[in-house]
Structures are given as C-alpha cells and as structure tokens.
A and B are shown apart, each in its own frame.
Chain A
C-alpha cells in the first residue's frame, strides 16, 4: 500500500484526522530544512509535504514566496529536494512533494516519479496542474506508484470536482478558500467544499490554505480526513532568532496541531452549537 494511503488508514483507525505539514526544501538551507522537518515530525506531523522552491509561485502568499526565494538563492537543486524527502521518510513520516509544474516537466515527468519513489516519496501535489493537462503525469505516477494529488477549489463546478476527485489518488486537496497560501480565518466555505467532494471521492480529503491554529485543526478534523498547515510553520521560523529556537517552535506548533486533529468532536460543538 502507498505510504500516504496507509497513513490515512492508520489515522482513521485512531478516529482522528491526519496532520499534514509543509516545509520548503532548502529553506533556509538544505541541512537546516532537514532539521526543521525532523522537528515537525517529532511534534506529530504524520505526512510531510516538501515544497520544491520555484521562481514563480503564483499560489503562494508572501510568507512562502519569500521562503522559496531564499531557498533558491541558497542554491537548492532538485536532488536537494529529494534529499529532504528522503529525510522525512527516514524520520518516520509519509512524504510528498508540493511542486509547481515546470520544474517537474523540466526534470522529466517519468524520471521524477521514479526518482521520488526511489527515495521513499509517496506522492506529489501539483498546484498549477489541472487534470486536463495531466495525461503524461497520470501515466508516470501510476507506473511508479506515486500518489498524485490534485487541488479542488470552492469555485470548482460539480463537473470539475468529479474530474479532480476521480484523477486524484492519495487524497484530494481541498483549498479552504479562494486565495493563496497564508494564515487566515477558515470559514464554512471549506466545509461546504468537502461535503461536495465527499460523494465523488474514492480517497480521503484534506483541507489546506489558511490553517494555522489548534482550534482550526480541530474544527476541520470534524469534517475532513486531513489538515494541512504550511505558512504557520514558516512564520515561526521567520520570527525565530536561531535554528534551535525555530526547531523548538515548529515542534511545539506540530504538537498543538496534533492535539487539534484529535479533538474533532469538541471543536465541532464549540463552533456550530
């Protein structure tokens, strides 16, 4: 079984949502990014999304865009990205890559699926690849047992949600709102979207964009199978004075969020009663 599917299954058995954490590979440099990722996993992140820094990250708000910029300036290469994936895998988490399309296409679609599989990467999230443009990608990911995760948006029509749900494996990434990455309020829109995807999906559904607190994690865990947190981790690093402080900070946030994804019932009552 693919490691992502296995992680969701384990979480379901424990009657909780999966905690998915994001970190850009090579930020602030490759070795430090590995230490941060290990701290996130130690804190309770189940599935690590390793960001492949890209020069034109149109789906990212300022927090992650600045981080990607810095990672690129530090000289992060595709093999560095794979190294961080391997480290996440070794640290005991399921590992996926989040990447804009051009770096993958440039690497070679099949070559990348294969290389990822070799280092223990289990899936890829592609924020600017729509299902209609993904024929070669579907073939490559099938061949190498890599889960391909497409994004669903609140604006997606029922027809498009069917397309996204059908083409995704591993999970469906439900964007909580119209917008880019960053911490904000997550409202009813996310829950409505998950409800619309649910009957169409043959995989679990995870909610991302805007999530940063234990309370939000608990609310989302009430209706989704996974909770994705990115910018909140990056911001902790950006506010820290040292790598050690950042490691402690991200681990503490991961621990809190890991509690959140286990408190689904409670938060649901608080929020909606």
Chain B
C-alpha cells in the first residue's frame, strides 16, 4: 500500500498511471538503498549544484526582526538559483535508472522548469515544460532560460492559465506517454510516492542546516521558517527538525491581497481538505468541490493545493501555517535587499516576512532559521513595477 500522511496523501489518479507510480516507488526504494546512487548524487550535489549551501548570519536584517538572531539557509546560491535543483538532480537520475529518456515538468515561477531543463541538458534527456500562459508572461526570462537550455516550453492556455493548469496538462501528457516519460514533479504534492521522493531529495537542506546551526551557535534554533507553495523547500528544511519537539516549525503561505479578499493562496486559513492532483490535502475549493483559483504576487506560491505532509503537520499541530500578504512580502523583500545585499525570490520573501513577524514576537534571545529558497533575479521586473521603479511609473 502506498504512503499516506494520516488521512492525507494517497493516490487519486487515472488507473493508467498506477503502473508508473509503482515503478517509481520501486526505483526510488532501490536507489535509496544503493550506495552507488548515493555517491553519484552526493558528487553532483557538491560539484554541480555547489552544496553545501552556506548559512549566513543576517546581523543587519535582525534589527527588523525584533533583534532575534536570524540565520539564512542560502538555497538561493545553488546552481540555477533555488532549492529546486536538489529534487531535479535526484529524479533525473531516477529517470535514467528507469530507462526513461524523456522528462516532462510543470512550472509556476519557472524555477523548477529551469532546473529540470538544466538536468535534462546535463544527462542528455529530452525535456518538455508545461507553464501557464499567465506565468510565461510573468516570468518571460525563465522561459528564455529553459529554451536556451534546450527544453521545449508549452504555454497552457486553459483554466486559470497558471501552475494548476500546467500540472493538469503535464498529467495528460504523462497518461499518454508514460512508457518513455518520467513526470518530474517539482514539489511535495501529487500522488504517492512523489511527496516522499521530493521530500527525500530536499531533505539535504534540513540535514545541512541542522549541522550548520549547531556548529555556529551550539544549539538548535527556536524556530524554522519557510514559505509554502507546494511546500518542497519547507519540507526539505523541516525534515531536519521534525524530531526536535522544541523547534517550532512555521510555514508561510501566499496571503495575496489578504484572506478576507478571497484573492490569496492560503490553503490552511482559507481552504479545506479535499483531493487535487492526485492527493488528499488542503485545497482551495468552492462549495461544490471545484478548485478555486489561487492568487499571489509570487508565481511559486500561487497554487490552490499543498503537499499532503504539510496538511498532516497542520492537523497534528507540529507545524503552524500563516498567510503573508503581498505587501508584507514586498516589505521583507526590500528589507533584506537593503540590509544584507541579498535579493530573495518573492517566494522566499514570504518566509522573511514571517521571520520579521515571529522575531518581534519572540524577542532578541530567539534564534530563527529562515530558508531562503531562491534568489530574486527572476522577480526584478515584478519588484521594480511594485516599487514604481520602471520608466514612466515613477
């Protein structure tokens, strides 16, 4: 039987995909136990991705966080600019082991698409990336990056034309071409075993961060904070601290224009349990179980579902989740840029806003570990326009 997280997770998929999911589970279990795979992955993480990613003490930014010690886990410094590459390298290797020469992926902000196109180039795999048409507009530079890397980018012009619809289209492709194709899902959502596979490949963030924090300050942090779209960077860093009951885990969702406005991506404060894209989890849905469109200024958080393990952590109270509005995230984006010289991704800016909120609450004795999941270069257009820096908008 496949993995559930309490009442969440499972497999809600067309029968046609069951065989491929079983095959993936088996390949994953075998690879995990295979020291050759372990060495291959470790080598790529070190020499290609650039791991371990550093831990930066953000002394200046700390002033904005009630004086709390702020430690930044710098996933923004990975090759391709975000944590997405951790999972992609792992799954691309699995695809190779399964003898599947073609990769397909969905992407929202474009980071996962870029990472997948990168791995496909490295391993000589064919690559097609589905991206909502609205997102191809918001993230035009990433579209070009994927194409430069040799991937085919397919804009999806149905439904809400965002990440949710890109996943639908990727699933349709997979149902049709499952024999030679691996669906390289980018986050801890989807049918089993994806949440488990992606968490495994992202857990290196938490392992490294735990060691780095202990080495640096000689104790565990009081809180670990991350942004939560699908939730892979959060699962990655949380997984290093799940067994440490004194470490609080905080996930920050896209609050958009505020939960009350209805325009947000806050599945926990503005959604309810349901089934979407292969798993039972918290989703945004209307009174009839139809998926409601999500919204966030950050394309990577603009998704109406969330990883099923997060739903379980939410229900058990092990992790807490709060929305951060567009405005709060943009204030944090600016604060980190100005105080530390680090332009975070808009997704990560939600975690930084959370750290500001939490630090002010916990005070100067607190130590807060923040996952900076990606860098903000891709968001410069959005930020410039938000802050009125573009010509004609001054």
Contacts and interface: CB of A to CB of B under 8 A. Distances in A.
B-side binding surface: helix, strand, loop or mixed? mixed
A128 B20 CA distance: 15
A178 B15 contact: no
A132 B178 contact: no
B394 to A, nearest CB: 40
Given A106-B285, A180-B172, A54 B290 contact: yes
A59 interface: yes
B178 to A, nearest CB: 6
B313 interface: no
Contact of A101 (B12, B15, B158, B165): B12
A54 B288 CA distance: 10
B164 interface: yes
Nearest to A153: B16
**Nearest 10 pairs of A and B residues by beta carbon:** A106-B289, A153-B16, A103-B289, A179-B176, A55-B291, A58-B171, A102-B275, A155-B19, A55-B290, A153-B15
A34 interface: no
Interface in B274-315: 274-278, 283, 285, 288-291
27 contacts: A54-B290, A55-B159, A56-B168, A56-B276, A57-B168, A58-B168, A59-B172, A65-B158, A66-B158, A101-B275, A103-B288, A103-B289, A105-B289, A128-B275, A130-B12, A132-B2, A132-B10, A133-B11, A153-B18, A153-B19, A156-B15, A156-B19, A175-B14, A175-B16, A178-B175, A180-B172, A180-B175
A152 to B, nearest CB: 6
B29 interface: no
A160 B2 CA distance: 14
B331 to A, nearest CB: 33
A62 B164 CA distance: 16
A101 to B, nearest CB: 5
Contacts, number: 112
B14 A102 contact: no
Given A78-B288, A156-B18, A160-B15, A106 B274 contact: yes
A145 interface: no
Given A58-B175, A106-B274, A132-B1, A160 B14 contact: no
B275 to A, nearest CB: 4
B290 A72 contact: yes
A248 B95 CA distance: 50
Choose among A78, A133, A151 the residue with the greatest number of B CB atoms under 10 Å from its CB.
A133
A117 interface: no
B179 interface: yes
B248 interface: no
Contacts of A130: 11-13, 15, 18
Interface string A73-87: 000011000000000
Interface in B333-371: none
Contacts of B277: 56, 58
B274 A102 contact: yes
A178 B291 CA distance: 26
Contacts of A119: none
A87 to B, nearest CB: 20
Interface in A31-77: 54-59, 61-62, 65-66, 69, 72, 77
Given A155-B18, A160-B15, A180-B172, 7 more contacts: A56-B277, A58-B171, A59-B14, A103-B289, A130-B12, A132-B1, A156-B19
B390 to A, nearest CB: 35
B289 A128 contact: no
B13 A128 contact: yes
Contacts of A103: 288-290
A44 B210 CA distance: 68
B274 A151 contact: no
Contacts of B276: 56, 102
A155 B20 contact: yes
A128 B14 contact: yes
Choose among B2, B175, B288 the residue with the greatest number of A CB atoms under 10 Å from its CB.
B288
B291 A132 contact: no
Contacts of B171: 58
Contact of B18 (A56, A102, A160): A160
Contacts of A55: 159, 290-291
Interface string B155-188: 0001100001100100110011111000000000
A136 to B, nearest CB: 11
A107 B171 CA distance: 25
Contact of B16 (A77, A105, A106, A178): A178
Contacts of A133: 10-12
A90 interface: no
B13 A179 contact: no
Interface string A176-216: 00111000000000000000000000000000000000000
Interface string A108-131: 000000000000000000011110
Contacts of A152: 15
A80 to B, nearest CB: 10
Nearest to A62: B158
B135 to A, nearest CB: 17
B156 to A, nearest CB: 11
